[in-house]
Structure 1
Amino acid sequence: MLGNIRRRNLLKIISCCSQVDFKALVLDYMPNGSPENLLHSQNIPLNVLQRLNIMIDVASALEYVHHGYSIHVVHCDLKPSNILLDDDMGAHVADFGIAKLLDGRDSMAQTMTLATIGYMALNLGMEGIVSRRGDVYSFGIVLMETFTKRKPADEMFVEESSLKQWVANSLHPDRVDSEAMDADLLGAEEDHHFVSKRDCSSSIMRLALACSADSPEDRINMQDALVALNKIKIKFLKDTESE
C-alpha cells in the first residue's frame, strides 16, 4: 500500500528486494539525513523557519496517511530519526516498518509493543491500543524536541519529570521561558527578531502539549495540528517582516 502512495512528504519506495536470506526496500536517497543528526550529532543550527517547515512537512505526511484514505495508516514509531531531509531540507516521513492499517476503525489492540519509549503514547505502551491519536502524541513530543533540543530520554529527566512536564512548566500566559528553548534558536534578547521567535516558540509549545495530552480524547487530530502550524508560520513571517 505504501509503495502505491505518492505524496511529497512520504519517503518514496522505489522497489524492493526479497530473497530467502535478504530483504530490503529501495528508497530515495535523502542527502541531509535526519533532524536528529542535525540537532544532536552534527550540531548544525536550524533557524525557526527551517524547523517550522520540517514539522509542517511531517504534519502534512501524517495528515495524509491518517485522513487521506478509507484505510487509515498509523505510523506507530514517529521520532526524529524516522524523518529524513532532502536537498532542499524538505522532510519526508520514513520507516513504516511497524505501521498498522485501520480499516474503517478508530483503533485496534495488539499484543506486542515495539514503539520507542519516550515518543510512545501511554495507551499504546500500557494497553497496546493503536490509534491515529497515538501518532499525534508522538508528533507532539517530536515538536518539543525540535524546538528545545532535548530528547525525551535526556538525563535531566529523572523520576517523575519528563520533557512534556518540563515544557508545560516553562509556559506562561504570554510567553515561554527562553531558557527552555534551544539556545541556537532564539539568540540573545537584544537580537532583532528575538520577541517574534519567542512568541512563535510559545505557540509551538502550546500546540505540542495539545498533541501530547495524556488522554487520547483530549488530543487534537493531525488535520487541526497542520492548520495550527500553518497559522503559526504565517504569523511568524508577518511579525518578522514588521519588525
Structure 2
Amino acid sequence: MLALEFLDLCCNNLSGEIPKSLEALVYLKYMNFSFNKLSGEIPSGGPFANITSQSFLFNDALCGDSRFIVKPCLTKSTEKSRRKMVLTSLYILLGIGSLLALSVGYAVLRLRKRKKNARQVDVSLVKEHERISYYELEQATEGFNESNLLGSGSFSRVYKGILKDGTLLAAKVFNVQLEGAFKSFDTECEMLRNLRHRNLTKVITSCSNLDFKALVLEYMPNGTLNKWLYSHNLFLNLLQRLDIMIDVASAMDYLHNGYSTPVVHCDLKPSNVLLDQEMVGHVSDFGIAKLLGAGEASFVQTRTIATIGYIAPEYGQDGIVSTSCDVYSFGILIMETFTRMRPSDEIFHGEMSIQRWVSDCFPSGIQKVVDLNLVTLGEEQIDSKMQCLVSIMELALRCTLVKPDARISMKDALSTLKKIRHQLVISCY
C-alpha cells in the first residue's frame, strides 16, 4: 500500500473525510477525488503538497488551503461564535416564522397546481447532476458510432447521444492516449465548475477513470457556427450573424470581467461557437483556457497550441496570453462571419492575411470583401445594410490591432455591437 503511485476515486459517490493517513503514501504521483460527496479538511502533507485543485472538483463540503479553491476550515473559536449567532438568529426566525406560517400555507396551495405542471422540468434539473457510467454513454452513443460524431478537436471527439429516457446529450470523449488529453479534461472541468452564463456551453456531468475521460454537455441541436457559414443548404442573414456575435461577445465579456479572476479562452473560432434551438450562440471548448489568478500579471506565458489563423501575434510568437488575445481572435471571428472566408484559405499567404485583406478594402471597398449573400443589389435597405457592415468591420479591425494594448476591450466591443444592432433594426426592420 505504501508503494501506491496512482489513486483515482473520481465519480464514486464517496462521502466522509479524506483520511489523513494518506499523507504517508510518499510515492503517490496521481490522485483524483473529484465528483464525490467528501467533506472535512483536505490533508496538506506528503503527496498532497504537490497536487492542485483539479483533484478535488465538485466536492462542495471540503475545506482547506486556498490553493485547492475550497472554503477555509472553521477554527474552534469560529465555531463557538458561529453557534452563538445561529442560536440568536434561530429565536428571531421562530418569531417571524410563526407570523409567516399562514401565508406560506396559502402560497403552497396556490403553487401546488403550478408544481404539477412543472414536474417534468424539475426532474430534468435533478438528472443534470446524476453521475453517468461508461456503459450508459456507450449505449447512448451506440458504441461511439461514427454516425453520431458531431465534431472533433485536438484532444477529443464529440458524439450525439440519447439516454434511455429520451434525453439528448453531447458526449465529449477525450483521447487519453494523446499527451495533454488529461490536462485538457482537468482544465475544462476546472474552468466550468463555477462559470455560469447563458452564452457558455453547459456541462451537465462527467464520466472519469484512469482509462476514460468524458464530459456530458448540453446538446445544441443547430450545431456549430462553422456549419452554418459553410453549408450550401444553410444560411444566416445579417441580423442573425450580428446576434450570434453579440452572444459570443457577451460570453467573452463575462469570462474577462464577470468572474472573480479573468479567464482567457485561447481558442475562439466558428467551430467552438454552438447554436441552440433558438439560434442563440454558446461558446464552448475550454480545453486550453487560462485562468489569470488574483495577484498575477495581466498575462501569462505558455506553449502555443491554439488554432492557426485566429492566434494573436504575441501569442503565436512569444506564447504570451492575455485577454487581448481573445479580443484579437474575436476580431478574426467577426471578419470570417461576415466575409464567409476562412483565415486559412489559400488566398491568405505570405503577408496577406484576412485582417490585411479587410483593412486594404476598408471602408470604401467593403463590398469587395463581405459575403454577397448578405445584401441584394437594388433592395431598399442596401445603404443601411452596407453602413452596418462598415461599422462591423471597423470594430473587427479595432480588435485585431497588432499591439495588444491598442485593442478595444471585450466590454467595449459588446457595447459597440449592441449599438450597431440597434441602428440596423431601426433602419431595416
TM-score relative to the length of structure 1: 0.94
Match of 1:212 among 384, 393, 400: 400
What displacement does 1:176 show? 4.6
Distance 2:214 2:292 in 1: 25
Match of 1:185 among 363, 374, 381: 374
What displacement does 1:22 show? 1.1
Residue 162 of structure 1 aligns with an amino acid whose one-letter code is S
Aligned to 1:24: 214
Aligned to 1:231: 419
Distance 1:11 1:3 in 2: 12
Percent of matched pairs sharing the same residue: 52
What displacement does 1:43 show? 4.8
DSSP 3-state at the match of 2:351: coil
Q: Which has the larger radius of gyration?
A: 2
- Residue 165 in structure 1 maps to residue 353 in structure 2: no
Aligned to 1:147: 338
Distance 1:68 1:176 in 2: 38
Residue 116 of structure 1 aligns with an amino acid whose one-letter code is T
DSSP 3-state at the match of 1:103: coil
Contact 1:77-1:116 within 8 A present in 2 as well = yes
Distance 2:375 2:365 in 1: 11
Contact 2:358-2:366 within 8 A present in 1 as well = no
- Residue 95 in structure 1 maps to residue 270 in structure 2: no
Contact 1:137-1:211 within 8 A present in 2 as well = yes
What displacement does 1:89 show? 0.3
1:169-194 deviation per Cα after TM superposition (whole angstroms, max 9, x unaligned): 1112xx55312110111122x01221
Distance 1:2 1:220 in 2: 26
- The 1:42–1:85 alpha-carbon spacing in structure 2 relative to 1, beyond 3 Å, is farther
- Residue 128 in structure 1 maps to residue 319 in structure 2: yes
DSSP 3-state at the match of 1:60: helix
Distance 1:49 1:176 in 2: 21
Aligned to 1:75: 265
Distance 2:258 2:398 in 1: 22
1:36-73 deviation per Cα after TM superposition (whole angstroms, max 9, x unaligned): 11111345221110000000000000000100123111
Aligned to 2:305: 114
Contact 1:108-1:130 within 8 A present in 2 as well = yes
TM-score relative to the length of structure 2: 0.54
Residue 53 of structure 1 aligns with an amino acid whose one-letter code is D
- The 1:54–1:98 alpha-carbon spacing in structure 2 relative to 1, beyond 3 Å, is same
Contact 2:224-2:274 within 8 A present in 1 as well = yes
Count of residue pairs brought into register by the alignment:
237
Distance 1:57 1:47 in 2: 16
DSSP 3-state at the match of 1:24: strand
Which moves more between the two structures, 231-240 or 83-92?
A: 231-240
Contact 1:176-1:201 within 8 A present in 2 as well = no
Contact 1:3-1:14 within 8 A present in 2 as well = no
Report the aligned-residue RMSD.
1.1
Contact 1:176-1:198 within 8 A present in 2 as well = no
Distance 2:359 2:209 in 1: 49
Distance 1:2 1:163 in 2: 32
Distance 1:177 1:205 in 2: 8
1:4-44 deviation per Cα after TM superposition (whole angstroms, max 9, x unaligned): 22210000011111111110111000011111111113452
Residue 409 of structure 2 aligns with an amino acid whose one-letter code is N
